Structure 1
C-alpha cells in the first residue's frame, strides 16, 4: 500500500486504479514534494489535488543486442523500433501474446507505441493486465 505525507498527516492509501491508456492514477497534493515514481500525463485536479498517471519501469535485458519493439503483442507483428539492452523503459500494462521462450506476456510501452516481450524485461512491479483485443 502506498503512503503519502500530506500537511503532516499520513494518508493510509493512495488511489491506484487502471486507466486508459494504461498505468495507474495517484492523487498528490498540489504542493507535494517530488516523488520517486515516474509521473506522466498530468490531468485535471479535484479539490486541490492533481491526478498523475504513474507507470512501472523495467530494464531491458536482451543480452547486448537491441530489443525489438513490435506493433502488437507477438513476434508476428512488424518491428517498429528498438530499445537498447540495459536501458530503462516505462511500461503501461501487461497482456498475452505469442510465446517467447515459454513466456507469453507482453508489455505495452507507456512512452510511445509498441509492445516488448516480457521475456527480455526485468521489472519488480506487477503491472495491470489487459486482455488482448479481438
Structure 2
C-alpha cells in the first residue's frame, strides 16, 4: 500500500511508541517524492517529530510478521491494507543514519491506526545502516 497516496495523514497509535507514552496522535507527511521518507509529527506537541522510512528499498528481504490480534486491532484484513515504517536515527547526520528494524511501526493508513511492533525472537538490529539497495 502506498502511504503517500493517502489524503489524510493523521495516525492514531493503538498503543504508544516506546518512550513516548503521552503521544498517540501523529500527522504523517512525505519528505520526498518517492514516498520513502516521512516525518511523523505529534499533534499534541508539534516540536516532537520522528523521521520514518519504508525499509524495503534498503532491506528488500525484511519481512516483519505481526500476530493476528495486532492485525485485527489495526483493522488489517488483507496484507495490502498494512504498511511498515522504520524509525530513522539521524543523530550522526545523513551519512551515518540508521533505521530501527527490531521495532517497526505497523500501520493501516486507510483506518489511520498504527502500533509499534517489537519483533521478539528475530535477529533484527536497532541501528541498521541506511544504505539503499536497488
**Structure 2 length-normalised TM:** 0.28
**Structure 1 length-normalised TM:** 0.28
Q: Whose strand proportion is higher, 1 or 2? A: 1
Q: Whose helix proportion is higher, 1 or 2? A: 2
Largest Rg, 1 or 2: 1
Tell me: higher relative CO, structure 1 or 2? Use CA pairs within 8 A at least 6 residues apart. 2
